[in-house]
Amino acid sequence: MNITNVLTVDVEDYFHVEAFADCIPKTQWALCSSRVERNVDRILVMLDRHDVKATFFVLGWIAEKFPLLVRRIAQANHEIGCHGFGHDHLHRLSPEGFRADIRDARHRLMDLVQQPLVCYRAPSFSVTERTLWAFDILAEEGFVLDSSVFPVRHDLYGIPGAARFPQWYRTSNGNAIFEFPPSTVRYWNNNWGVAGGGYLRLFPYDFTRWALHRINQQERQPAMVYLHPWEIDPEQPRISARWRSRLRHYTNLDTTAPKLERLFQEFCFTSFSDACQHLESFHSRRFHPWESFPLSSPAAAPLACDEVRSLGF
C-alpha cells in the first residue's frame, strides 16, 4: 500500500529568513526586490504538471502585498495555511503579541480566499520548550493542525524529545492541537532532519529517497516535506551576512527543483488537511502523554466525536 505524504510550502521571500534578520530589518523589506511571486508561480506549474496538491503556509505580510498571489494558490485548489504575519520568532513575541500576529494574518488570508483556515506553522519552527504557551493561543484562535515542533537538536529550533509522528495533544488549559512534525530519521540515538528546506538541498537525492522510503515502508508513516519559494531560485540577490547564514541559505539552490521533480515522480503527496483525514491517529482522538512535552497528561480524556467535529473536521 502506497502512503501519501504531505507537501508544504512556507511562502516567504529571501529577505524574510531568520538567517538575514540581523542584516535586513523589517523597515527595509519594502525596499527589497521581491521574487516570491515568480518563484511561487514556478512551484504552482510544477505541482500542476505532477497533479500534486500542497499546503502553502503564507505570511500575512505576503498576503497584504501580493493578494492576487494568495488567490492564485487557492484557485489552483491548494490549501492555505498561516505562517504568522511578520515572520517573528515566537521567542521574540509575548503571548499577546503572538495572538495579534496570527489573528491578523489568519483573518487577512481567510478574507482573500473565502475559506476556513485551520493550519499553522511557526516561522523557523520556533515552537520550542520556551514557547509551548503558543498552543493554547493557536487553539483559541481557531487552529486545529500545527507543524511547528521539529524533533531535532538545532541552534535555532527544535525539541529533541518530541514525538516524530503526528498525534493529538491536549494543552494545560484543555485545548486540543494535532501536531504533524517535519520528518526525521532516527540514528545513533538522535533524530536527523530530512526532506525539507536545507536538509533537502544539502543531502544527495538518494539519501532523501532512502529516508522517505524508510518512513513510509518500515515505519508505515507519512512524511512531511517542506520548502521555501526562494529555494528554487539560484539567481536571487546575495546578502552580505555571516558565513554560516550564507552557507545555509545559498548552498545547492540549483538542485532543489530537480530533486522535487524526482520526488513527485516517485512518491505520492497531498495537502496537510487531506493527509490528516486519512490518519488513524487523527480519528482515534487519543491524547498521548509525554513527560518532556507538557501538553498532555495521562489523565487527559479522549475527544468525543462531536468535539472533533467542532474543531472544523
* CATH code (residue 81): 3.20.20.370
Convert the pLDDT of each residue in 175-213 to its tens digit: 989 999 999 999 888 999 898 899 999 999 999 999 999
Q: Does the structure show a pLDDT above 80 at 152?
A: yes
Helix (H, G, I), strand (E, B) or coil at 156: coil
Q: Mean pLDDT of all residues in the chain?
A: 89
Pairing of strands 145-146, 119-120: parallel
Task: Centre a 10 Å sphere on the Cβ of residue 131 and count the other Cβ atoms it contains.
Answer: 19
C-alpha cell at 55: 499546503
| pLDDT above 90 as % of the chain | 74
Expressed as residue numbers, the domain containing 293 is: 4-310
Alpha helices in the chain (DSSP H): 36-50, 60-65, 67-75, 95-113, 134-140, 197-202, 205-213, 243-250, 256-266, 272-277, 280-284, 305-310
pLDDT at 189: 86
Convert the pLDDT of each residue in 245-256 to its tens digit: 888 899 999 999
pLDDT at 287: 59
pLDDT at 19: 84
| pLDDT above 70 as % of the chain | 90
Question: DSSP secondary-structure letter at 236?
Answer: S
Q: What is the CA radius of gyration of the chain?
A: 18
Rounded to whole angstroms, the Cα distance separating 20 from 167 reads 33
Question: DSSP secondary-structure letter at 217?
Answer: I
Q: Does the structure show a pLDDT above 80 at 156?
A: no
Q: Does the structure show a pLDDT above 70 at 288?
A: no
C-alpha cell at 179: 501536531
Please state the domain count of the chain.
1
Rounded to whole angstroms, the Cα distance separating 152 from 173 reads 26
- Show Cβ contacts of residue 260 under 8 Å, excluding neighbours closer than 6 positions: 46, 227, 232
Convert the pLDDT of each residue in 219-242 to its tens digit: 999 999 999 999 999 999 999 888
Instruction: Output phi, psi for 219, to 5 deg.
Output: -95, -10
- Is 123 within 8 Å of 78 (Cβ atoms)? no
Average pLDDT over residues 136-157: 90
Pairing of strands 167-170, 145-146: unpaired
Of 179, 178, 180, 217, the C-alpha closest to 196 is: 180
Which of 47-56, 69-78, 270-279, 286-295 has the lowest average pLDDT? 286-295
Which of 122-136, 254-268, 294-308 has the lowest average pLDDT? 294-308
Q: Is the dihedral of CA 21, 65, 37, 235 positive or negative?
A: negative
- Is 230 within 8 Å of 14 (Cβ atoms)? yes
